[in-house]
C-alpha cells in the first residue's frame, strides 16, 4: 500500500500529508501511530509532538517557523498558528566534501548544439531585435509585424480560427447559448509558412520598460542583461534600436558586451533613431541589416558537443507543498549529475534561500565566495525591510493555500533544486557564469524576473518546477516545465513537459527521476524535443530593477 504521509528529514517534528487526511483519522509512519485532530489537506503538515507557543517547527532538518499558539499532536500547521522563523548564519570554515553521483551512464554522451566563436555552445539559434529604451518599443513592434510572418516564424492560428468560427455563427444570428456552448473545431492549427532561414529557430523581439527615467544603476544593469542576451550561445546576432539620449547608453552596452565576450565576433547592428532621422529610413535600414544578419545566422548548424557545455538554470514558480519533496530534489539530482560531468547550474531566487543560507555558505569553495553570498543576502533582506516588506512576505496566496505557509518552509524546499555539490561561484545580477559547477545568482523569487536573469547569466536550458502550474517561458532558451504532482500534469498537460508526481506516489525514486530529466534535457538541447513553452511562443522577458521585488 502506498504511504499517505511522509517525514522529509529525521530531525523533523512535522509530517507531510500526501493525501487528504480526515479528522480523527489514524495514520502510521515507521512504527509510530498518530491521530490527526482535523482535516489535513494533501501537501500540508501536522505536528508529531506537542509544540508549545513559541516552540520551534523543524522541517527539512532546519528551523522553518515558530508556533504562535500551542499545536497539539496531530494538529494542522497553518498561518493562524505558525509564524515565519529561520536560523541565523555566519561565514566560517567551508565543508566541501561531496559524494559525486555515478555518471558512467553518460560517459561520452553529447548533445547537438550550435558552436560559437567564444567556445560556448547554444541549444538553439536565434536572432534578437532589442531596444535600448522603452521609447523604441513601438519600432520593435513594427519590425516584428514586418518580419515574423514573411520569414515563416508566425505562430499557429488555432485560436484565431476558433474565434472566426464563433464570429461566423454570430453573424448568422446565433443566440448567446449557442456561442457559449456549441462545440467548435479542435484541430484547426495552421503554420504561418515555411521558414526562409531553416537553420534559424526564430527572430525574437524583446521589449521592456527601462533604459531611461530610472536610476543610472538600473540602466547599467539593463545594459548588462541585454549584453548577456546578445552574447548568449543561443543567439547568433542582434539588431539594437537606440533613441540616442537615454540613460542606457550604447557605449555602456558595448562595455558590458566586452566584459562578457572580449573577442565578440557576432554580427551586431546598432541603429540610433535621432541620428538616422526619419522613421521610414530607420525601419528600412533595420530591415536590411536584420535580413543580412539572418543570412549569416543561417550558416550555423547543429554539431556534437559534450554535456559539460550545458548551463542549466534552476527555477520554481507556482510552488506547492510537494515541490520540495518531488520536483525540486529531482532536478537537484540532475544538477549534481551535470556538475559531476563538468557542466554548470544556476541556483537563484535569493528570497527563497531564507533559512538554508548556512548550508550554502558551508558548501562554498572558499571564504571569499561565502562572504559575498552572505553580504548579498543581508543587503537584499535589509532593503526589503526598509521598504516595509521582508523575505517572510515571499510566499504567494497560492503557495500558502497549497502548504507553503512560511518563507522558510518554501525556501528549504526550493533550495533542493541546487543538489548537494559545492558552490563554485557567487554572482550578483546580471553577472555571467564563468565557472563550472553550482553558481548562486542573486535574483528575486519572481518567476519571470529570475528566469530572465538566469538566461542573461548564460543558462542555455531552464528547468522550471511547478506545483500549481504556470506557462512561463523565455524568448531564447527552452524552459522545461516540471510538475510536482500527477494531478497537475494531467490537468495542464498542454504546458507541462515532465511529471515527478511519480516520486510522491512511490513509483520512482528521486534519483531515477533526476536521471530521466537529464535524458530529456539532452534531447531538448539537441532540438529533438520542442517544449511546450517554445511551442506556445511563451516569450516572457522582465528585467529586474534593483528595488525590492521578492
Strand, coil or helix: what is 122? strand
| Rounded distance between C-alpha atoms, residue 238 and residue 293, angstroms | 8
**For residues 120 and 309, is the Cβ–Cβ distance under 8 A?**
yes
CB distance 312 to 281 below 8 Å: no
Per the CB < 8 A criterion, the answer to whether 128 and 239 are in contact is: yes
pLDDT digits (tens, 9 = 90+) for 96-152: 679 999 999 999 999 999 999 999 999 999 999 999 999 999 999 999 999 999 999
φ, ψ for residue 427 (rounded to 5)? -120, 145
Measured between alpha carbons, how far is residue 167 from residues 155, 159, 176, 185, 188 in Å? 21, 12, 12, 13, 16
Q: Strand ranges (DSSP E) for 309-372?
A: 311-316, 344-347
Buried b (16+ CB within 10 A) or exposed e, 154-170: ebeeeeeeeeeeeeeee
Interior/surface letters 514-539, b for 16+ CB within 10 angstroms, e for the rest:
bbbbbebbbebbbbeeebbbbeeebb
Q: What's the alpha-carbon Rg for the chain, to the nearest Å?
A: 25
* Angstrom distance (rounded) from CA 362 to CA 334: 21
For residue 294, what is the enclosing H or E element? helix 279-297
The pLDDT of residue 193 is: 61
188: CB partners within 8 A, 6+ apart: 157, 158, 161, 162
Q: How far apart are CA 153 and CA 443, in angstroms?
A: 32
Instruction: State the virtual CA torsion across 108, 303, 541, 129 in degrees, nearest 10.
Output: 160
- Residues 346, 433: contact at Cβ < 8 Å? yes
Separation between Cα atoms, residue 374 and residue 334, nearest integer Å: 26
How far is it, in rounded angstroms, from Cα 490 to Cα 256? 44
Position 96 scores a pLDDT of 67
Q: What contacts 529, CB < 8 A, 6 or more positions away?
A: 520, 523
**478 closest CA partner among 225, 201, 92:** 201
Residue 188: what pLDDT? 45
As beta bridge partners, residue 437 has 344
Contact 387, 299 (CB under 8 A): no
Beta strand 311-316 pairing with 461-466: parallel
What pLDDT does residue 90 have? Answer: 83
pTM value > 0.85: yes
Beta strands 126-131; 235-242: pairing state: parallel
Spatial CA neighbour of 247 closest among 133, 140, 131, 129: 133
Question: For residues 272 and 240, is the Cβ–Cβ distance under 8 A?
Answer: no
Inter-residue contact 325 to 503 (CB < 8 Å): yes
503, HSE (Cβ side, Cα atoms, 13 Å): 28
Q: Do 269 and 293 form a contact (C-beta atoms < 8 A)?
A: yes
How many CB atoms are closer than 10 A to CB 334? 29
Per DSSP, the three-state class of 339 is helix
Q: Flag residues of the chain having pLDDT under 70.
A: 1, 93-96, 156, 186-193, 392
Q: Establish whether the linkage from the previous residue to 136 is cis, with ω within 30° of 0.
A: no
Q: What is the pLDDT of residue 236?
A: 98
- Measured in whole angstroms, the distance separating CA 506 from the mean position of its chain's CA atoms is 26
Is the CB of residue 132 less than 8 Å from the CB of residue 250?
A: yes
- pLDDT at position 461, please? 98
**Which residues touch 477 (CB under 8 Å, ≥6 apart)?**
123, 124, 232, 234, 313, 455, 459, 460, 461, 462
Amino acid at each position: 500500500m502506498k504511504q499517505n504521509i511522509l517525514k522529509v528529514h529525521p530531525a523533523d517534528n512535522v509530517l507531510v500529508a500526501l493525501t487528504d487526511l480526515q479528522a480523527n483519522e489514524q495514520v502510521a509512519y515507521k512504527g509510530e501511530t498518530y491521530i490527526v485532530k482535523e482535516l489535513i489537506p494533501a501537501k500540508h503538515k501536522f505536528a508529531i509532538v506537542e509544540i508549545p507557543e513559541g516552540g520551534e517547527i523543524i522541517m527539512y532538518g532546519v528551523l522553518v517557523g515558530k508556533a504562535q499558539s500551542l499545536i497539539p499532536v496531530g494538529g494542522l500547521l497553518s498561518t493562524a498558528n505558525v509564524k515565519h522563523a529561520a536560523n541565523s548564519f555566519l561565514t566560517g570554515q567551508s565543508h566541501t566534501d561531496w559524494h559525486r553521483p555515478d555518471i558512467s551512464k553518460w560517459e561520452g554522451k553529447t548533445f547537438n548544439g550550435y558552436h560559437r566563436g567564444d567556445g560556448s555552445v547554444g541549444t538553439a539559434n536565434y536572432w534578437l531585435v532589442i531596444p535600448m529604451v522603452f521609447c523604441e518599443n513601438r519600432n520593435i513592434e513594427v519590425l516584428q509585424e514586418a518580419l515574423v510572418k514573411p520569414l515563416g516564424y508566425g505562430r499557429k492560428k488555432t485560436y484565431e480560427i476558433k474565434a472566426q468560427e464563433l464570429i461566423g455563427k454570430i453573424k448568422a444570428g446565433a443566440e448567446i447559448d449557442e456561442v457559449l456552448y456549441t462545440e467548435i473545431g479542435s484541430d484547426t492549427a495552421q503554420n504561418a509558412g515555411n521558414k526562409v532561414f531553416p537553420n534559424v529557430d526564430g527572430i525574437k523581439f524583446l521589449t521592456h520598460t527601462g533604459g531611461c527615467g530610472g536610476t543610472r544603476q538600473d540602466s547599467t544593469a539593463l545594459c548588462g542583461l541585454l549584453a548577456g542576451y546578445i552574447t548568449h550561445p543561443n543567439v547568433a546576432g542582434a539588431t539594437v534600436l537606440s533613441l540616442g539620449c537615454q540613460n542606457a547608453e550604447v557605449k555602456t552596452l558595448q562595455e558590458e558586451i566586452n566584459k562578457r565576450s572580449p573577442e565578440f565576433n557576432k554580427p551586431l547592428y546598432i541603429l540610433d533613431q535621432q541620428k538616422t532621422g526619419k522613421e521610414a529610413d530607420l525601419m528600412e535600414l533595420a530591415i536590411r541589416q536584420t535580413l543580412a544578419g539572418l543570412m549569416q545566422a543561417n550558416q550555423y548548424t547543429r554539431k556534437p558537443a559534450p554535456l559539460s557545455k550545458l548551463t542549466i538554470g534552476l527555477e520554481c514558480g507556482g510552488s506547492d507543498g510537494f515541490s520540495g519533496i518531488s520536483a525540486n530534489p529531482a532536478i537537484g539530482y540532475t544538477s549534481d549529475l551535470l556538475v559531476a560531468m563538468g557542466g554548470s547550474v544556476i541556483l537563484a531566487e535569493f528570497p527563497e534561500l531564507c533559512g538554508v543560507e548556512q548550508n550554502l555558505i558551508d558548501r562554498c569553495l572558499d571564504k571569499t565566495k561565502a562572504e559575498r553570498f552572505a553580504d548579498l543576502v543581508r543587503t537584499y533582506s535589509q532593503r526589503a525591510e526598509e521598504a516595509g516588506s521582508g523575505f517572510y512576505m515571499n510566499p504567494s496566496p497560492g503557495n500558502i493555500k497549497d502548504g507553503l505557509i512560511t518563507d522558510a518552509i518554501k525556501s528549504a524546499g526550493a533550495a533542493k533544486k541546487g543538489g548537494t555539490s559545492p558552490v563554485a561561484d557567487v554572482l550578483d545580477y546580471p553577472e555571467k557564469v564563468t565557472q563550472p559547477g553550482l553558481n548562486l545568482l542573486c535574483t528575486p523569487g519572481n518567476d519571470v524576473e529570475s528566469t530572465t536573469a538566469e538566461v542573461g547569466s548564460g543558462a542555455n536550458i531552464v528547468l522550471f518546477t511547478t506545483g500549481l502550474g504556470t506557462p512561463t517561458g523565455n524568448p531564447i532558451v527552452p524552459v522545461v516545465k516540471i510538475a510536482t504532482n500527477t494531478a497537475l500534469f494531467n490537468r495542464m498537460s498542454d504546458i507541462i513537459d515532465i511529471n515527478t508526481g511519480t516520486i510522491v506516489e512511490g513509483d520512482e525514486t528521486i534519483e531515477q527521476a533526476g536521471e530521466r530529466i537529464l535524458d530529456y534535457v539532452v534531447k531538448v538541447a539537441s532540438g529533438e524535443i520542442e517544449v511546450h513553452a517554445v511551442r506556445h511562443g511563451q516569450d516572457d522577458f522582465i528585467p529586474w530593477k534593483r528595488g525590492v521585488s521578492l
